Chains A and B, each alone.
Chain A
Amino acid sequence: MDKTDFNLACPIPKNDYDKILLAHGGGGILSNQLIQKIFFSQFDNELLNVQHDSAMFNINGVRLAFTTDSYVVQPIFFPGGNIGDLAINGTVNDLAVSGAKPLYISVGFIIEEGFEIEELWRIVLSMKQAAEKAGVKIVTGDTKVVNKGKGDKIFINTSGIGIIETGIDISPINVKPGDVIILNGKIAEHGIAILSAREGLEFETTIKSDTAALNDLIDRILKTSKKINVMRDPTRGGLASALNEIANKGNVGIAIEEDKILISEEVKGACEILGLDPLYIANEGKILVFVPKDDAGKVLDAMKNHPLGKESSIIGSVTAENKSLVTMKTMIGSSRIVDMISGEQLPRIC
């Protein structure tokens, strides 16, 4: 080797990105930085700063939860659902994991010129069905149309409002060492279903999105135990990102076991081929429940008796050590860190 050409170096440090990248919307570290530095720093207030799935507040003695979410999934129709039922279920779930009973939903459509009315009709019908199934009413809305090429078919925003019963206090900051973590089934199905339907990625699977409204399951959980500390739907960024968020906000350690986390053979296969880690892939019908050990058994039983919780299992627990870290006992018996996702695994999955 030529010694004069020997060069042990790297590029100069790079400052923050000066433009928005797709990864800023990926639910990982870049998203977090964007939200913290730009939005939270300016919108700063006591309700926002809780950083929960919904804002929670009292009006005339009634405790309410309020949330919003936008849907840009591509393709808009995918195995197991479409952008419409996803938009209803997602907002219903954000309210429900805050411990609220979802009541009213608003819908905003941004539609691209030239979009097929028939497709819009199909989306609206599935929104109607999803709302009926979840027991919520769509009570207000808005429609905007943008020039051809200035949007991508259709984007939907939904906001929701729900009521929180007295005595229920669900929040990441309530997480306690000793809490047991229950998950209601197989992970990574939504992300892989979207991917399999995407143009340019031709692989055939029977994997369907798990999109579902979780409020009925959550209602049952809350009726079973008054001690639920945290609930979280591990959507964008997957299980790993949701657990990291809770470990960070609650300043606790989280220890999970790889062989307790259910993943279907097909999802595993797709992940192996595509080089994706299922821990970071989105779910739209999964819930993580943090509950003290003495109530875990009955909560687990209640979840298993619900159609959306048949495959529920305990995947780990909360520890006082390893604060702000998620660690995992691997299937070969070693242990390692499960970090928050950094860049963008799959854009536009919800």
Chain B
Amino acid sequence: MKYVDEYRDSLIVKNLVAKIKSILTQPWSLMEVCGGQTHTIMKYNIEELIPKEINLLHGPGCPVCVTPLEMIDKAIDIASKRDVIFTSFGDMLRVPGSRLDLLNVKANGGDVRMVYSTLDAVKLAENNPDKKIVFFGVGFETTAPANAMSVLEAKRRGLKNYSLLCSQVLVPPAIEALLSSPDTSIQGFLAAGHVCTVMGYEEYIPLANKYKIPIVVTGFEPVDILQGIYAAVKQLEEGKFEVENQYSRAVIKEGNKAAKKILSEVFQTVDRKWRGIGTIPMSGWKLKESFADFDAEKIFDVHEIEKQESNLCIAGKILQGYKKPVDCSAFGTLCTPEHPLGAPMVSSEGTCAAYFRYKK
């Protein structure tokens, strides 16, 4: 398949690995902040190919994993209401809340549906005027334009029965939070290519300068990842700390202007809690007041549920790169994809699930 096969080519991979080996003089720790990249690293077992001196840390890049428990409980509350059709992308359905997950709600008679596009949810609203259609809009900057678009489209069609349960998160504040920790061992970042397709990479430049750390905008195929690793290692070996764009086939510096315009029209920046990490200032988006009629949190009477998660798993330490899944005593025994203790075991992009599935 064009634009895919050439990025999974074993010969190109072999050459890149040799190039990385040829410049490497000391150990380095790099973090990718995108679940898609984590998944590729595991699915193609890239860690088996690269020198052991390169330590890949798998950051909080899975949107399903970092969505706070309170938000999932809210989703479950809303989805359980009789007049609601609750829609979401597939992975979100299996994420455990404090008591149930959305699949339980479905088994209990709730109308919970997986959709492949937010516009399908809008269409559902149009076709079911006697029902309230809610879309669970989670994710990074990548999913935000489509989620914003669904609200604009619902407004344009004059729909009164569509709303968004919004839990958008932003990458740069998370990178800043990780780097500002005194214990951090991260020496370089692979930034998420598709986030930068939307947002561009200008906002990463002050971060690279402030923390003297290379940030390489990286794609999702094995060749992309290895090129990203090579670029980051090369900068580290040369003492540089620049923002570099490996994923130039999809990313330009200023990002997607049309998408950014929609985002600024619909969303405003807020403090957001990240599951496993805590509240990060100005790290999320919520719907602006002018779109309150489409805000599921405002429409539905859902209680502000403050949840204390138990201390059984080390998801937070894993998401911040301090620990690997195999360091967790529950990994693969008490905690499996069928019975996840923590969100990173749920989504196929979650670090623990990816480890479990591809490495054991």
Which A residues contact B (CB, under 8 angstroms)? 1-2, 5-14, 16-17, 19-23, 29-30, 33, 200-201, 265, 268-269, 272, 274-275, 325, 330-337, 339, 342-343
Cross-chain pairs A/B with CB under 8 angstroms, 23 sampled? A1-B281, A7-B276, A10-B313, A10-B315, A11-B96, A11-B310, A11-B341, A11-B342, A12-B312, A13-B334, A21-B106, A272-B4, A330-B45, A332-B9, A332-B222, A334-B45, A337-B357, A337-B360, A339-B357, A339-B358, A342-B336, A343-B337, A343-B338
Main secondary structure of the interface of A (DSSP, over half): loop
Assembled-state Cα–Cα distance A23/B315 (Å): 25
- The residues of B that contact A13 with a CB separation of less than 8 Å are 312, 334-335, 339, 341
B1 and A332: CB pair below 8 A?
Answer: no
Interface stretch, picked from B97-105, B196-204, B249-257, B287-295, is: B97-105
Assembled-state Cα–Cα distance A267/B199 (Å): 31
- With contact pairs A5-B273, A7-B309 given, residues A332 and B341 touching in the complex (Cβ less than 8 Å): no
A8 and B315: CB pair below 8 A?
Answer: yes
- With contact pairs A17-B107, A336-B42, A342-B337 given, residues A10 and B177 touching in the complex (Cβ less than 8 Å): no
- The residues of A that contact B311 with a CB separation of less than 8 Å are 8-9
Task: Give the residue name and chain of the B residue nearest to A269 (CB).
Answer: B1
Assembled-state Cα–Cα distance A73/B61 (Å): 36
B10 and A333: CB pair below 8 A?
Answer: yes
B309 and A11: CB pair below 8 A?
Answer: yes
B48 and A335: CB pair below 8 A?
Answer: yes
- With contact pairs A14-B339, A343-B94 given, residues A8 and B314 touching in the complex (Cβ less than 8 Å): yes
Q: Is B231 located at the chain interface by the 8 A CB criterion?
A: no
A2 and B98: CB pair below 8 A?
Answer: no
- The residues of A that contact B273 with a CB separation of less than 8 Å are 5
Give the distance to chain A from B43, nearest Cβ to Cβ, in Å.
7
Partner of A265, one of B1, B90, B277: B1
B46 and A334: CB pair below 8 A?
Answer: yes
**What mask results when residues 325 to 360 of chain B are scored 1 for a CB within 8 Å of chain A, else 0?**
000000000111111111100000000000011111
B97 and A8: CB pair below 8 A?
Answer: no
A9 and B337: CB pair below 8 A?
Answer: no
- The residues of B that contact A6 with a CB separation of less than 8 Å are 277-278, 316
Q: Is B280 located at the chain interface by the 8 A CB criterion?
A: yes
Assembled-state Cα–Cα distance A9/B103 (Å): 22
Assembled-state Cα–Cα distance A224/B307 (Å): 65
Assembled-state Cα–Cα distance A325/B358 (Å): 11
Given contacts A12-B312, A21-B104, A332-B9, 18 further A-B contacts (CB under 8 A): A1-B181, A7-B278, A7-B309, A9-B276, A10-B309, A11-B310, A11-B341, A12-B310, A13-B334, A29-B338, A30-B338, A275-B90, A325-B360, A331-B8, A336-B43, A336-B48, A337-B358, A342-B337
Give the distance to chain A from B63, nearest Cβ to Cβ, in Å.
13
Assembled-state Cα–Cα distance A29/B338 (Å): 8
Task: Give the residue name and chain of the A residue nearest to B283 (CB).
Answer: A1
- The residues of B that contact A275 with a CB separation of less than 8 Å are 90
Q: Is B317 located at the chain interface by the 8 A CB criterion?
A: yes
Assembled-state Cα–Cα distance A336/B358 (Å): 6
- The residues of A that contact B308 with a CB separation of less than 8 Å are 7, 9
Task: Scan residues 36-65 of chain B and give those whose CB is less than 8 A from a CB of chain A.
Answer: 42-46, 48-49
A333 and B14: CB pair below 8 A?
Answer: yes
B48 and A10: CB pair below 8 A?
Answer: no
Task: Give the residue name and chain of the A residue nearest to B46 (CB).
Answer: A334
Q: Is B243 located at the chain interface by the 8 A CB criterion?
A: no
- The residues of A that contact B314 with a CB separation of less than 8 Å are 8
B1 and A19: CB pair below 8 A?
Answer: no
Q: Is B69 located at the chain interface by the 8 A CB criterion?
A: yes
Assembled-state Cα–Cα distance A325/B336 (Å): 17
Assembled-state Cα–Cα distance A296/B278 (Å): 58
**What mask results when residues 154 to 190 of chain B are scored 1 for a CB within 8 Å of chain A, else 0?**
0000000000000000000000010011000000000
